[in-house]
């Protein structure tokens, strides 16, 4: 860790920003993994491959699958955000879960 050449050294660490960043990272990571899993299951055959490169059909399938998943994610996210969906309004049961299973929070 360089104490002299750190360009972000003058900024303070804000707890709120850290939490926001954590939530954003979780959301993006979940979305990405969902897209990855769904499109792999839909587009890439499980029984037989012939070569290591993607074929033309697989390329088209993956392009379309990722575009659809990404667009629908964006749509639903915008809708849900405009309705004020949040942990305090719609996810009250999560506090109970956190109390019941103390080590599940990750």
Partner 1 sequence: MGYEGFGLDHINPPPHKNAPFKSLTQEQQAERSAELMVDFMTSCPGKTIISGVTGFALGGIMGLFLSSMAYDTPLHTPSPTTSIAGINGQAMVKQFADLPMKQQIRLQFSDMGKKSYSSAKNFGYIGMIYSGVECTVESIRAKNDIFNGLTAGCLTGGGLAYKNGPQAALVGCAGFAAFSLAIDLYMKSEDGKPPKNDFNE
Q: CB-based contacts of 3: which residues, under 8 Å, 6+ apart?
A: 9
Minimum separation from the CB atom of position 75 to partner 1 (A): 10
Longest dimension (CA), the chain: 56
> Of these, 23, 34, 41, 70, which contacts partner 1 (CB under 8 A)?
70
Q: How far is the CB of 16 from partner 1 (least distance, A)?
A: 20
CA distance 32 to 69: 10
Contact positions vs partner 1 (CB under 8 A): 28, 31-32, 43, 45-50, 55-58, 60-61, 63-64, 66-68, 70-71
């Amino acid at each position: 860790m360089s104490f002299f050449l750190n360009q972000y050294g003058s900024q303070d660490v804000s707890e709120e920003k850290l939490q926001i960043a954590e939530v954003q990272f979780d959301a993006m990571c979940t979305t990405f993994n969902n897209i990855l899993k769904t499109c792999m299951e839909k587009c890439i055959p499980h029984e037989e491959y012939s070569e290591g490169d993607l074929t033309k059909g697989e390329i088209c399938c993956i392009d379309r699958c990722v575009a659809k998943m990404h667009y629908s994610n964006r749509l639903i996210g915008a809708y849900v955000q405009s309705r004020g969906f949040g942990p305090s309004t719609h996810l009250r049961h999560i506090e109970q879960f956190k109390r019941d299973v103390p080590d599940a929070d990750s």
